[in-house]
Structure 1
Amino acid sequence: MADTFRKVLIANRGEIAVRIQRSLRRLGIASVAIYSEPDRHARHVLDADESVGLGGHSAAESYLQAERILEIAVQTGVDAVIPGYGFLSENADFAENCEQAGIAFVGPTPEQIRQFGLKHTARALAIEAGVPLAPGTGLLIDVDQACAEAARIGYPVMLKSTAGGGGIGLTRCNDEAELRQAFASVQRLGQSFFANSGVFLERFVARARHVEVQIFGDGQGRVLALGERDCSLQRRNQKVIEETPAPNMPPATREALFTAAERLGRTVSYRNAGTVEFMYEAERDAFYFLEVNTRLQVEHPITEMVTGIDLVEWMLRTAAGNPPELSRRPESRGVAIEARVYAEDPLKDFQPSPGLLTEVHLNRPGF
């Protein structure tokens, strides 16, 4: 494949689409934007070299229309498709169909997306790589097996859906009665949201921190850890504050996290950007594998800020067959924090309540 692309389709919207366009422009690569009807005047559409409407108003009617997006990619003659995060970024079938059409998918291989897409198979790979895990199980057959395994592990336990993310189906069970009550419900949630009802158990870690390691691989066996991010401050299992480097992390533990993440990536000759997520138990100075996100993360800019690396550029170069040199970890300088804004309705038990922003103040003095 050539060292650079001529034209790339951005299979996303909003901030990440603008972010990708910025990197494409700097590299001299033309961009093709796709858009739903409400996004027809969005910045990523107006700034693109070409733009094609998907129709529809919801994500299901537009940005999740894999066949339609691939048709547009073929019709516009792009060399590659980059989804960034969300939507089709972890859709192995879409990645495979792109490559079968002779169009590069800017991300991991379809097989790697599948390998890490289910948490129980990701745990198996982590065991193979010698990465620490919290005591847990494989996929459970029924609630009776779950109760027997929970008795072996010791309560409380976490009942988890093997598919998807965002904390959906994640349930703490303090005793057998709670586990029996939750089992079928978590299975239904997994089937409803991710078309997969598989569930498994892990030991509950009471005072866990959520720490993730940014990795990058060239697809040829070289994988580097580019730093870690602390994502412990969450609301309803959704990240609110991300910080790098993780505060109060012993240097030896940080090095062990990096080594474990790199070892896991090398086990599958990981290609492109990814994130290995861990629980960190400060009282024991121990960490346990959680999952791998085979995509760019929303919080990737804070890693870029302290390392000076343009991860989108690295992704594009790697997909074009010209990966960066991965011989040495970059130095991290300074501290960077990302904060997300959550809108909730206090009169409805603080349910998520997106609406119209009427006034916004940013860059306040002293903030």
Structure 2
Amino acid sequence: MALLQQEIILEPSASYPFHVLATHYSYRGNPFGNSEDALTLILFHALGVHKETWEVTVSRLFDLCTSTSSQIKIRDVFSIESPNHGRSAELNADQIAKQAVDNWPGEYAKATQRFLTADLSLGGSRVDFKSRNLVGICHSLGAAALFLAAQADPTLPFRFMIAFEPGVTDKDNEQRIRANFAASAWAWLREDVFRSRKSARKHLEENIMYATWDPRCLDLFVKYALIDHPAAKHPPPYTFRGVVTALSRDHHARSYMSDDLTFRGVAAYTSLTQKLPVHLIWGAVDEFANDDLRDFMALHGRTPASVSKIEEAGHMVVQQQPDACADQILSILLLETKRMSRL
């Protein structure tokens, strides 16, 4: 199966000041590429990574779908990037500098709405997302973006959602307060400048926060989450040809303060679970989420369609166990396809 990918760039508009980037995935010979009843998967990444971080999972999912007798129909996949992450951060650098840094999770939701309602052309054909069968798949920060975007525009036809380690909860939840304190401290302290991508790769694979990642996901991080250092443009002898993380430490640390990662995000999630199936998937290793926090996501009117765990993974489950994530997604696609066929 030959994976096909294409980067899509929406230019800023009068109503939205940022470039919005997404990667479109399909595969050569996809029999469902024009099928109106097939599924279109919309992917949302975690804080600190990039839109291509799902690539290993997407590739395996396509492999599974082409080899399974169940004939799950996936039309295509779009992975949308937060405007201050990955290559988006490079294109938006000037505009980012003019913005406050407090609410980028909410900005990700706005970027999502911009993308899914844009006049988008792909391969000579207009993409009308409102006529598609959308499946939202998110991880951590991406959960807030998905839930808020879907709540803000109910006309977006999401049939169901899958959330890996969703990064939303009640503002006063003690476990989340402790986790956010630790995460923001780490974000302020993390190394963000490297002499080269090669040296960055070596540093990251020895760092406890990245050492558990699948090597393929780490390679993607080095390729897409790092950008040329701004000093590369300085004249000699002041040129520095190193790399820096696309997401700044400032934006990274202060994202944990966003109300969209706390009560606004969980309010949107609560509302959505009463309207459509939302499946939760956790890493079995307690990091950000312990059993109390996981239980919180299924109490007080919150009714997830299913709750499951992936072994040998913590909060960064998509980067640690990308193949297992694909397997879990497939099982939910099978379940939901059967459900929709009965409607």
TM band (smaller chain): 0.3 to 0.5
TM-score by length of structure 1 reads 0.34
- As a proportion of its length, which structure holds more helix? 2
Larger radius of gyration: 1
Q: Which has the higher contact order (CA 8 A, sep 6+)?
A: 2
